[in-house]
Amino acid sequence: MDAINWVLGLGPSVMMPIMIFILCMIFLMPLGRSVRAALLIGIGFVGINLVIGLLVGALGPPAQAMVHNIGVKLTVLDVGWPVAAAVAFGTVSIVPWIFVLGILMNLGLIALNWTKTLDVDMWNYWHFIFGAAFVYAITNNFVLAIFIGLLTELVILKLADFVGPVIQDYYNLPGITTPHLDTVGYSPIGWVFNKILDRIPWVNTLEADPGSIQERYGVLGEPMVVGTVLGLIIGLLGFYPQLGSNFGSALSKILTTGITLGAAMLILPRMVAILMEGLVPLSEGAQRFIQTRFPGRELYIGLDGAILVGFPNNITVGLILVPITLIVAVLMSLINLNHMLPFTDLAVLPFFAIWANTWSRGNIVRGVIIGTAFIVFLLTLGTFLAPAQTQLAQAAHFSVSNLPAGTQMSSLDTGAHLVPFALAFPWLLSRVSTFGPLFFWWTVLLLAIAVACYAIYIAYILRGHVPGMDDKALYTHKPQPPAPAKPTEVPGVPRGGEVPSGA
């Protein structure tokens, strides 16, 4: 257990290059090229994390100010995904079983050709651990908890298989996919909702993406300018009450928020270009290795969904969702459908924008509509799981003394654990009465919608279709993200999208 905790404690920026180097050696790549690829990927993740940290720091104060401006008191506080991850790794009875059995299961499934995805993102096994942990906390059934955790991993690996083609085609990431539970778990819902929007008159004609905006408005449409404008709007929404009493300080905060978010929109894609420079030789080496020994088979390298966050359409939708999330949270609370006050995880909304946005290949209008629907799910599930997360935090000796009396902890990211929640729901019914009958039937309705979306999505695949590829012509009349920059090129700013680590 101590060894596992030590490995996990290294964090993704250290674990990732080590794992990549080991894979390069397994795939018989030259030593020098292997070292370079591993270091580039590690450096890319460091850079991405630094920029996401900058994004979190910039969004935190205005988000807190917006929460204060709303003045609504809710009993569940969004403490952010890092707390959920710490709670997961603190559940020592679950960690070694999911970590070890999960890795063995992934390797076994690849050997049997039941998945194409090799998940090297060991850090984000915390999502599978967390899914098992909250089941254990609610049911006190250890075997059921481990089963749900491993079944969740199996579902996520298959979802990663399904989304691999569109990720590789649209984002220009050859051989890459994202078995990232709290993002890819919503991909079937995003796909179905996008198809519904295709059939709604007028709405199906609405379109906006960073490429077309830049084409129409020139410099004013560049991602860094769009980011700056969105930052100024978010800053204004947060700090406008202070303009009357302390104009200089408030104006400074608004301008700082704008410039910082504009910088994130410009720098994140450059960091991802570095990451991609390391990923391309790994992907090529893996495919050569597999084709030589297993002709006709494919292998996808599974990475953190953060590699998709830096594309301008995803960042843009995520920033637009910040005030929308607060509004939705308040409206749902008025009819007792939400008890959580969004706060810390507002900064990682671009993660949840990925599968709201990708199926339409960057249509920001659709991304905002579908992303708003995702927020409804996140708030509901986050509220439901608040007692379990608070209980796990106490059991893991995580300090909860700073929480106001009568307040519980959860997060938007906690609400993103849709797959383990749905799989374990029949055993979680004992907790539903905590929030009343209306909340129970609301939760059942959302789960029914989710299950229906999964069924439609899988039925489409079983008929021989590839989601995001067979309907590509419907969404490819606008500029696509460019291919990854070659080592001799200076990475530029992709036009129709860009590219990222985090939740």
Q: Assign 3-class secondary structure to 222-266.
A: CHHHHHHHHHHHHHHHHHCCHHHHCHHHHHHHHHHHHHHHHHHHH
Nearest to 170 by CA among 468, 465, 473: 468
**pLDDT for position 1:** 54
Q: Residues 397, 398, 399, 404: is their CA dihedral positive or negative?
A: negative
Q: Residue 302 carries which DSSP code?
A: E
Q: Which residues of the chain have pLDDT under 50?
A: 217, 479-480, 482-501
The pLDDT of residue 346: 83
Structure tokens at 176: 């890459």
- What is the per-residue pLDDT for 500? 39
Q: For position 432, what pLDDT does the model report?
A: 64
Q: What is the pTM assigned to this prediction?
A: 0.81
Determine the pLDDT at residue 227.
Answer: 75
Cβ neighbours for 264, distance < 8 A, ≥ 6 positions apart: 51, 52, 54, 55, 58, 227, 315
Q: Which residues pair with 167 in a beta bridge?
A: none
The DSSP 8-state label assigned to residue 171 in this structure reads S
Helices and strands: H and E segment counts in the chain: 20, 6
CA proximity to 495, closest of 218, 168, 261, 309 = 218
* Beta-strand pair 340-341/76-78: parallel
Q: How far apart are CA 30 and CA 12, in angstroms?
A: 24
Dihedral through CA 445, CA 183, CA 331, CA 243, nearest 10? 180
DSSP assignment of 88-113 equals HHT-TTTHHHHHHHHHHHHHHHHHTT
